[in-house]
Chain A
Amino acid sequence: MKIAVCIKRTPDTETRVRIAADGVALDETGVKFILNPYDEFAVEEALQRRDKAGGGEVVAIALGPDAAQETIRAALAMGADRGILLQADKVPTDALAVAKALAAELKDGGYDLVLFGKMAVDDCNHAAGPMVAELLGLPCVTAISKLELEGGKGVAEREIEGGVEVVEFALPAVLTAEKGLNTPRYPALKGIMAAKKKPIETRPAALGAARVVVSALALPPERKAGRIVGEGPDSVPELVRLLRTEAKVL
């Protein structure tokens, strides 16, 4: 089974955001970058599917600056076979521009399965996976928390508000992973050493025109200073009074 996993280099979720001097970007000084947490579920799923199929290949594909090679190494350390870096100085804000570059790479790759994390924790778009699927005319199920594959057909489950959708599709397909799909492995030392020898191809990303322009990035407005109503259960009536008469949410 030949599987592509599209991954992204994102700031750690514990990052304290500061705005760069240009007023439109994140100040990356001192920011730790990680493999996007949702992509870990995609990588894990790819590895399990490859191993269950008794062979094949898992290719980790990232679009981004040269530093994204580290992100690819993280996927290789988990067990992916090789990597492809589609080079771009920075990842465009325009999700469709990114999707076009990924689609161009994936088009003639002969993949049975293309996996993504359901979203990147930086731009939170949920977009690249279903866009790639649409561009390539492939079946796509997003934000899956359960997957069964058998004989070229699949059934996936995705959480919706107040329920779960059970979705059928045929391979090749694009799937995006929700937390809970599996438990990603920690790379073992052996995996980390092996990853250093695994090949990473690099080529320029064939980005589409960027038509989503960031005009400003700002910190959210500070919340007005709140107050401690009191200590212990005796302060409950006062809290309820405030919720009713001051906040007017009851």
Chain B
Amino acid sequence: MADVLAVTEQRGGALRKTSHEVVWAARQLADAMGGKVDALVLGAPGVGAAGAALGEVGADRVLVAESATFGKYAPDGYAATAAAVVKAGGYGAVLVAATATGKDLAPRLAAALDAPLATDVTAVAFAGGKVTATRPVYAGKAIQQLTLDAPVAVVSVRPNTYAPGKAGKAGAVEKVQPVEIARVVVREVKAAAQGKLDVAEASVVVSGGRGLKGPEHFALIENLAKAFGAAVGASRAVVDAGWRPHAEQVGQTGKTVSPQLYVAVGISGAIQHLAGMKTAKVIVAINKDKDAPIFQVADYGIVGDLFEIVPRLTEEIAKARAG
């Protein structure tokens, strides 16, 4: 019997969607381990209010560490605070979302706790008295099963893989002491353009490739993404050509994504690209070459000129979503 700690993430005092996912994942794991779930919320004074809703997705207790230095991500302080909570609490596992913040925090925490780490997992379970994890490696070209052989394990969970349900736990809020060390300081967060979704977290992604023929034609992709309420992605070819920022790159040297819907436009489907998006629930491909490898992984394909198809699709999707 061991408890599970879910380390949540907030921005501007509001919990991120992945925080609910990670608490829900912790709930499933704790039920298998016969333990309780504590959710840790770190933030500026007053952040505790945001944690109150975590009982609904499975937190028995919500531990709140408030500090004037915790408003923005504080790598060292967050790691030290979480480590102190784990050491005091006798947990069997610590779960973190594998976001930009979580990918930074989880290794620090594992090192501070001298605990084994499994990153970016798509499933975490308990078998034979040990925490086990399933995770993509080689950017999704293979799936690895891991056993974490230690009293406490640290696991980062891929966004969009655990869809939170209702657990109806108490979620009693308790304060815990922040540990305020800071070897690095996040001075500011420059926000991206209003309403811009991140490709790694969006539930729909529309990606463009070399078939667009030039950066100026990416407006087609942006408009289609807007119609879907999707994030914009890009292939390595167009990022390397400087048409699009690296933050949008999907594939083995970019981001690995698992959205509900992935729309590939003018992307032929190089191995390293397929590796990064093959776990999408539904894949749509639009390409002029009917033999393009992208059609081998696509659920639905349209062969033809994207410059004719995409505007039509944009119109139809806007209509479908409005009605």
**Interface residues in chain A, defined as those with a beta carbon under 8 Å from any beta carbon in chain B:** 11, 13-17, 19, 26, 37-38, 93-96, 99, 121-135, 137-143, 145, 155, 157-169, 173, 178-180, 211-220, 223-224, 226-233, 235-237, 239-240, 242-244, 247, 249-250
> Which residue in B103, B112, B186 is a CB contact (below 8 Å) of A167?
B186
Query: Is A217 in contact with B137, judged by CB distance below 8 angstroms?
Result: yes
Query: Is A240 in contact with B146, judged by CB distance below 8 angstroms?
Result: no
**Residue interface mask B166-206, A partner, CB < 8 A = 1:** 00000000000000000111111111100011101100100
Query: Is A160 in contact with B302, judged by CB distance below 8 angstroms?
Result: no
> Which residue in B147, B197, B282 is a CB contact (below 8 Å) of A215?
B147
Q: How far is the CA of A158 from the CA of B278 in the complex (A)?
A: 27
Query: Is A213 in contact with B146, judged by CB distance below 8 angstroms?
Result: yes
Residues of the B chain whose Cβ atoms lie less than 8 Å from the Cβ of A124: 119-120, 136-139, 256
Q: How far is the CA of A231 from the CA of B305 in the complex (A)?
A: 9
Query: Is A159 in contact with B79, judged by CB distance below 8 angstroms?
Result: no
Query: What would be 13 A-B contacts, judged by CB atoms less than 8 Å apart?
Result: A11-B138, A96-B110, A99-B107, A124-B139, A130-B111, A134-B112, A161-B99, A161-B201, A223-B297, A229-B300, A243-B300, A249-B204, A249-B282
How close is B266's CB to chain A, nearest CB, in angstroms?
15
- For residue B117, CB closer than 8 A to chain A, the reply is yes
Query: Is A122 in contact with B137, judged by CB distance below 8 angstroms?
Result: yes
- For residue B210, CB closer than 8 A to chain A, the reply is no
Residues of the A chain whose Cβ atoms lie less than 8 Å from the Cβ of B75: 130, 140
Given contacts A217-B137, A244-B320, could you give 7 more A-B pairs where the C-beta distance is less than 8 Å? A13-B271, A17-B141, A124-B138, A125-B117, A126-B103, A232-B305, A247-B261
Residues of the A chain whose Cβ atoms lie less than 8 Å from the Cβ of B204: 249
- For residue B32, CB closer than 8 A to chain A, the reply is no
Query: Is A247 in contact with B300, judged by CB distance below 8 angstroms?
Result: yes
Residues of the B chain whose Cβ atoms lie less than 8 Å from the Cβ of A17: 138, 141-142
Query: Is B139 in contact with A121, judged by CB distance below 8 angstroms?
Result: yes
Known: A178-B246, A212-B146, A228-B301. A249 touches B183 (CB 8 A): no
Query: Is A167 in contact with B100, judged by CB distance below 8 angstroms?
Result: no
Known: A160-B101, A163-B191. A230 touches B142 (CB 8 A): no
Query: Is B283 in contact with A226, judged by CB distance below 8 angstroms?
Result: yes
How close is A229's CB to chain B, nearest CB, in angstroms?
5
**Interface residues in chain B, defined as those with a beta carbon under 8 Å from any beta carbon in chain A:** 72-73, 75, 79, 99-101, 103-104, 106-108, 110-112, 114-120, 132, 136-150, 183-192, 196-198, 200-201, 204, 245-247, 249, 252-254, 256, 260-261, 270-272, 278-279, 281-284, 290, 295-305, 308-309, 311-313, 316-317, 320-321
Interface centre among A145, A158, A231, A236 (most CB of B within 10 A): A236
Query: Is A243 in contact with B284, judged by CB distance below 8 angstroms?
Result: yes
Query: Is A131 in contact with B137, judged by CB distance below 8 angstroms?
Result: no
How close is B28's CB to chain A, nearest CB, in angstroms?
20
Query: Is A219 in contact with B117, judged by CB distance below 8 angstroms?
Result: no
How close is B76's CB to chain A, nearest CB, in angstroms?
8
Q: How far is the CA of A132 from the CA of B107 in the complex (A)?
A: 9
How close is A22's CB to chain B, nearest CB, in angstroms?
13
Residue of B whose beta carbon sits closest to that of A97 = B116
Known: A215-B145, A230-B302, A236-B312. A167 touches B185 (CB 8 A): yes
> Which residue in A125, A162, A224 is a CB contact (below 8 Å) of B197?
A162
Interface centre among A133, A179, A249 (most CB of B within 10 A): A249
> Which residue in A11, A13, A219, A228 is a CB contact (below 8 Å) of B290?
A228
Interface centre among A19, A163, A179, A218 (most CB of B within 10 A): A163
Query: Is A218 in contact with B184, judged by CB distance below 8 angstroms?
Result: no
> Which residue in A96, A215, A235 is a CB contact (below 8 Å) of B132?
A215
